[in-house]
Structure 1
Amino acid sequence: MKFDRRALLGGAAAGGGLWALQALLPAWAQTDSAGLRADLPTLTGPDIGLTIGRTPFTVNGRTGQAVTINGTLPAPVLRLREGQTVRLSVTNTLDEDTSIHWHGILLPFQMDGVPGISFPGIRPRETFVYEFPIIQSGTFWYHSHSGLQEALGHYGPIVIDPAGADPVGYDREHVLVLSDWSFMRPHEILEKLKKSPGYFNRQRTTLAGLLDGSDRMSLEERRMWGSMRMDPRDILDVNGSTYTYLINGHGPAENWTGLFRPGERVRLRIINASAMSIFNVRIPGLAMTVVQADGENVRPVEVDEFQISVAETYDVIVRPTEDRAYTIVSEAIDRSGMGRATLAPRPGMTAEVPPLRQVPNLTMRDMGMGSMDHGAMAGMDHAAMGGMAHGSASPDPASGDGAMSMAGMNMRDPDNAPPDMEVGVGVDMVSMDPANRLGERPTGLETVPHRVLVYTDLVSLQPNKDQRPPSRTMEIHLTGNMERFMWGFDGRKFSELVEPIRFERNERVRVTLVNDTMMAHPIHLHGHFFELVTGGPAGHQPLKHTVNVAPGGKVTFDLTADNPGDWAFHCHLLMHMHAGMFNVVTVRPLEGAAS
């Protein structure tokens, strides 16, 4: 059923039945005398039709062509309920194949929507019907897994209401889809990155910044970074030099506005549907209580800012008590731009938009030297730092000359690489001392004077279903070569016909992801949730389907491989996935198959 709430309410009002109809609507859809309402197009019911095509899209007064679903960017909200079965008929009007992946949804692998892995894809002018039971609740999203269509607007939100009482109490909600948009075609962006990985970085350190101190680096630090042929401002591959940052399809000047009544508890369902952008989110003057991560309820934790990586979702409760507007800020982590929206009691109200904050600098910890503090680089020997890039060893600190031994940082030395890692042209760095950074404030938020969410703050509201100890461990390295813009797992790109990652059905495995690069990687596993090993309360590890692995860091999670089939496992930075950081997770035996 296509649910056009505005038309439905208008017809009911004309017939005098508005208030009677109100009682039939869920709280999120109800209006009131102030005209407050859900304002994203919404589809619900057991049968939903979706049409993928090309639609003009205008932002900042300029128009381009987007790939859309039902003609909107973002696509309509799919409002479902736990316990129902849904049939989604997807018609492709493009001149190329397409697909829809239901991100974070637990379903049979044949319905997962990844061409070449779980189904063939949807050919031009054909319709594919996805059908699956809804066995969970929370905030999720959907997007293309074909080519680079996701970067062109092919994404939308999913909200699944629980079958029973919702443990989160709220009076009103808004869905906030964060994304990035460029009038440069994504294939051209990828081509430029392959030719010059720093093409979009207009925020490099400069001589003027050194002289006036604005770069916040000493001359010796600058020389060290230069010796390593590395850039301390290389934080996002693609950024505000070409991207406009959107909230619900609106650019900053267009100011999407969500309404509230002072004193209400407002639930914000925040989804990072961008192609390549990690955001720091805050609402100046308004505290946020995180109640859900990746669609899973967590014990409430009050913060003033949080980082949301690509493909993650966070639900927060805010309670604005004043009769004024508040600015919602989604600032790119390299501070090259921001998305901006407003919460207000009445349309047309605005609040002050804060300026972009200073550009962060990467540190020794981002280079995989986790035991060193942020100022350690300044005291290191210049020749030693050069050896990190060229493979030469410098004197050991024990020799008394104050320099560090860098032999362990030789970027492509097979003797220093972990077992099973393919060390070739696709690997330009092996972290010497990767650190568990789950409890650290994320990039750019290390010193802000307010409360910042870290992964170790997340505690599952309900006990973990499987509390067996892992039967084995596995280590997977996230690898790359920045100069060649090559990415992979364990030194191999997916195109090199790598072996799938294999699990026995219902096997319990402890997996450690080691980031051997200086870029963050949001790693997503289809068809499953995993439990982050945070050191928090036993049996209440937070469940995630996507986790951001910090530069030079490592993340450990426990996985119960309980969903049989073939599943995509990849970095959710779209260009990284297409450049090779992708593999298949195979869970066997399948239903009805012999062991």
Structure 2
Amino acid sequence: MTDQSHPAAPLDRRGLLKAAGAGLSALALPWFPGWAQPVSAGLATLPELTGPDVTLRIAHQMMMVDGRPRHAIGINGTVPGPLIRLKQGQTARLTVINELDEDSSIHWHGLLVPFHMDGVPGVSFPGIPAGGRFTYEFALQQAGTYWYHSHSGLQEQMGHYGPLIVEPDAPDPVAADREHVILLSDSSPIHPHMIMRRLKQMGGYFNYQKQTLFGQLAGRDQKAAERAAWGGMRMDPADVADVTGATYTYLVNGHGPAMPFAALFKPGERVRLRVINASAMTTFNLRIPGLALDIVAADGLPVRPVTVDEFQIAVAETYDVIVRPGDDRAYALVAESVDRSGMARAVLAPRPGMMPVFPALRPRPLATMKDMGMGGHNGGGHGGSGHDGVGAAACPPEHAAMGHCSPAAPAAPMDHGMRDFSLAPPTVRRTPTVQSISPMPVDRTGEPGQGLADVGHRVLTYRDLVSATRNPDPRPPAREIEIHLTGNMERYMWAFDGEKLSEVKAPITFRAGERVRVTLVNDTMMGHPIHLHGHYFELVTGHGDHAPRKHTVQVQPGGKLSFDLTADAVGDWAFHCHLLYHMHAGMMQIVSVRPDSDRAA
């Protein structure tokens, strides 16, 4: 057994400062718990465990965020949990000991494992009881950047997550001189059940960036017609995120912005950053001013390198990035929350103690009519486009007559709640969970993400991603299904097709080996990171048999997105929004892949 974990040594704040004064602050001390690392020097790293045998202990603990203590759930005494480094082709054996007074679990996010090792209580196994243990055992099929987290209750919000890297069994196709894990997360001193309670009481409880009367009268925020439309729908265009910097501190590897994590480099090196969004609720926009970012992998799998200056990373996505810092200076790594209510900060520097100038938060974005599914109508910014690459709003009648594009649908009349069910397919139930129906949803995979249309530099889009290798199954889909992402912000209810998980009578069923096109339609004004367990799928973005393969995908507000799926893993799998409180409120279903002999009706 090669478990390299260490027990957490007791250390008070005075002892820590004394140690720092003795010169230990320039070192990473792996035997200290994460909250006690000498973060002022900026060199603390996550403890690392190597396989194939690893032991993980889940327990309550305290953590420090920018010098202030708060209650957390940690793994082996650290928040985030230790970095687990495994090898492709190994059979990993991960023993999890639950020292909590409640059930727990670990899901290996993005790893292709047998369904009974997937770690979702009530779906793939019963969970790990209080005081109990469970050994996960599975072969490692793929290499890349992944992470792990609890799938029990709201434990993930309290720190129950960590990074996981699988090294390739052949020479790594991504050449780098050194690498750093950049694990983004959000942390609140408020207990997650209290956060959920406040959201149920008022969906915009944490939105402190609402439009002011002065701003509206001055015309700073929106055009008059658009302001009137939003008022008629009783919705706030500043509701871009529902849990915000009003309660969150945004972290990099457990470090808050006042005591940022620092990663070292030598000028001229190729540095690989394994970026993981392990937050509960926060979409981040990440950039390093002064450095180009070469995206070389998405969700663990290699893509053809694409150079950008910024990219949006949804909850539960991972991106591998190559940077080449050539100057002998410190660089600021900043990850703004999508609503720009706060940012995670880190330092990339050639020597300890160097600090860059961090940029200020940019002005907050506002949702548009396009974000409400009104296509190009009063939407502003980029026009949406369908799979033919031509936006509906930009399709003149003569082109439509020749079949070159689809004409824009007439704007549908809306009541104040936009609950015009004549626009919805029969699969969407008429329930209070459906606050709105998108009249003209458009494919937004060619857009950079909410708030990034006019930043003045290169921003990644899903259409920029091209798989580095040919897809394993190039067959066209044999059938298609459409799933609507629905919600009611006023009552904080979230669902697929208007049905919360507790109301669903049957799973989404696929036959083993069949090829299916799934189209996700976002009927809400928020982006949703949708994750399918146990599978990769290919985004339909015009790249044929080199379509990018992902397991988590952000569906932009008022947008739609299609992916092709080969149902190649028999079993029951979780399918859900990875915004933790959305999933907890019901935005989850079960996908059941059955042997071909068990044909469903």
TM-score by length of 2: 0.87
Aligned to 1:57: 63
1:200 CA displacement: 0.4
Aligned to 2:119: 113
For residue 339 of structure 2, the aligned residue among 321, 334, 337 is 334
Matches within 5 A, 1:254-333: 254-333=259-338
2:594 paired with 1:588: yes
2:470 paired with 1:497: no
CA contact (8 A) 2:43 2:261 kept: no
Residue type at the aligned position of 1:465: P
CA RMSD of aligned residues (A): 2.0
1:36 CA displacement: 12
SS in 1 for 2:345: strand
For residue 235 of structure 1, the aligned residue among 240, 251, 267 is 240
CA contact (8 A) 2:539 2:563 kept: yes
1:497 CA displacement: 3.3
Q: Distance in 2 between matches of 1:346 and 1:166?
A: 27
Residue type at the aligned position of 1:210: Q
1:513 CA displacement: 0.3
Could you report, residue by residue, the CA deviation over 1:51-109 in whole angstroms, capped at 9, with x for unpaired residues?
00011011123211111110101111110111000100000000000000000000100
Q: Distance in 1 between matches of 2:126 and 2:42?
A: 43
Q: Structure 1: give runs of 5+ residues left out of the alignment.
A: 6-34, 377-402
CA contact (8 A) 1:413 1:423 kept: no
CA contact (8 A) 2:72 2:159 kept: yes
Residue type at the aligned position of 2:228: R
CA contact (8 A) 1:274 1:311 kept: yes
Distance 1:92 1:346, change over 3 A: same
Residue type at the aligned position of 2:463: T
Matches within 5 A, 1:180-579: 180-213=186-219, 215-375=220-380, 405-407=412-414, 411-536=418-543, 538-579=544-585
CA contact (8 A) 1:365 1:372 kept: yes
CA contact (8 A) 1:286 1:304 kept: yes
Residue type at the aligned position of 1:173: E
1:417 CA displacement: 2.0
2:146 paired with 1:140: yes
| Percent identity between the two aligned chains | 60
CA contact (8 A) 1:410 1:430 kept: no
Could you report, residue by residue, the CA deviation over 1:316-355 in whole angstroms, capped at 9, with x for unpaired residues?
0000010000010010010100000000001110101100
Q: Distance in 1 between matches of 2:3 and 2:86?
A: 12
SS in 2 for 1:190: helix
CA contact (8 A) 1:411 1:427 kept: no
1:114 CA displacement: 0.2
Aligned to 1:125: 131
| Number of aligned residue pairs | 537
Q: Distance in 2 between matches of 1:548 and 1:36?
A: 32
Residue type at the aligned position of 2:4: F
CA contact (8 A) 2:262 2:349 kept: yes
Could you report, residue by residue, the CA deviation over 1:335-382 in whole angstroms, capped at 9, with x for unpaired residues?
100000000001110101100000111111101011325349xxxxxx
CA contact (8 A) 2:43 2:352 kept: no
Aligned to 2:3: 2
CA contact (8 A) 1:533 1:558 kept: yes
Q: Distance in 2 between matches of 1:259 and 1:204?
A: 39
1:505 CA displacement: 0.2
2:49 paired with 1:43: yes
Q: Structure 2: give runs of 5+ residues left out of the alignment.
A: 7-40, 382-409
CA contact (8 A) 2:226 2:369 kept: no
CA contact (8 A) 1:492 1:498 kept: no
Could you report, residue by residue, the CA deviation over 1:468-507 in whole angstroms, capped at 9, with x for unpaired residues?
1101000001111111111111110001133100000011
SS in 1 for 2:431: coil
Q: Distance in 2 between matches of 1:434 and 1:567?
A: 28
TM-score by length of 1: 0.88
Q: Distance in 2 between matches of 1:240 and 1:205?
A: 17
Q: Distance in 1 between matches of 2:477 and 2:308?
A: 33
Aligned to 1:95: 101
1:301 CA displacement: 0.2
Residue type at the aligned position of 2:299: D
CA contact (8 A) 2:331 2:356 kept: yes
Aligned to 2:34: none
Q: Distance in 1 between matches of 2:458 and 2:378?
A: 21
SS in 1 for 2:148: strand
CA contact (8 A) 2:442 2:559 kept: yes
SS in 2 for 1:334: coil
Aligned to 1:77: 83
SS in 2 for 1:469: coil
Q: Distance in 1 between matches of 2:465 and 2:252?
A: 25
Residue type at the aligned position of 2:104: T
